[in-house]
Amino acid sequence: MRVLISPESVEEALSIIDFGMDILDIKNTKEGSLGAQFPWNIKRVVEQTGPRNVKTSATLGDLPFKPGTAAQAAYGVAVTGVTYVKAGLFGCRTRQEAFEMMDAIRQAVRMVSATAEVVAAGYADWRRFGGLSPTEVVKAAGAAKCDLVMVDTAIKDGTTLFDHMSNDELREFVTGAHAEGMQVALAGSLKLVHAEQLLELGPDLIGVRGAVCEDSTNRHTKISPVKTKEFVEFFRSSGRAGLPGGASARLDVTPAAS
């Protein structure tokens, strides 16, 4: 299982770049769950990750249903050289709207790169704001020929992915996406206390921020390089035999915003 860490600044990204994560997810939490970072900051991080063989992801934002605007944003992000271009389908209310968004985004990315992967992101707490269900996001993303589909939480109030979706719903999400030929990512205030559930669900990727922050209850505090390294090593060692090297004494396992 690969691990994605979400820094919110260039400085924060560079502070953890050598600590083993598979993907640095460049976002701007001031603009929401999947807030968009400035392109010059994305470019700076990409320039540093390439020589280290660390992949990069950049978010387009928690988007309204505006396929043209989204396509232009996707084109600009793809120009920076990121590995993944991720769109939050916040404003989509139907499968058709989600399809139109992701189809436009994929076409825009392909104008720039044949290899950058296109990611459709839905929200586990979709019922709270009248959004599109993750199941419908999977179907739309598959029809639009996306490479990866993920689910996160839109409202960062300390509730987690597992507070909003049951294990059965998450299992359906994972298996449905795999059946469509897409990779799967899970995020949403995940912590080590969720490790067993995550390992059983079998996503290709998990994403965190709050779990590796200095204050795990506040996702706006700085990311800790030590916590980052231990979190990554934990999942690389499967997580079933306990935390390696006594990390449980240092990594808080209480719920946190991510």
Domains of the chain are 2-207 (3.20.20.380)
CA proximity to 189, closest of 171, 216, 227: 216
Residue 219: the pLDDT is: 81
Q: Measured between alpha carbons, how far is 60 from 14 in angstroms, rounded to an integer?
A: 21
Residue 217: the pLDDT is: 77
What are the Cα distances from residue 165, in Å, to 34, 134, 159? 19, 10, 11
Q: Which of 80-89, 195-204, 248-257 has the lowest mean pLDDT?
A: 248-257
| Residue 86 falls in the annotated catalytic set | yes
Catalytic residue among 55, 86, 156, 191: 86
Residue identified by tokens 């795990």 is 216
Mean pLDDT across the stretch 86-111?
Answer: 98
Catalytic residue among 27, 191, 227, 229: 27
Helix (H) or strand (E) holding 121: strand 117-123
Mean pLDDT across the stretch 27-46?
Answer: 95
CA dihedral 89, 92, 94, 95 (to 10 degrees): -30
Q: Name the burial class of residue 79, with classes exposed (0-12), middle (13-18) and buried (19+) by CB atoms within 10 angstroms of its CB.
A: middle
pLDDT over 50 (residue 108) = yes
| Residue 27 falls in the annotated catalytic set | yes
Q: What is the band of 81 on the pLDDT scale with cuts at 50, 70, 90?
A: very high
Residue 23: the pLDDT is: 96
DSSP of 150-165? EEE-SS-SS--HHHHS
* Ramachandran angles phi, psi of 29, nearest 5°: -65, -15
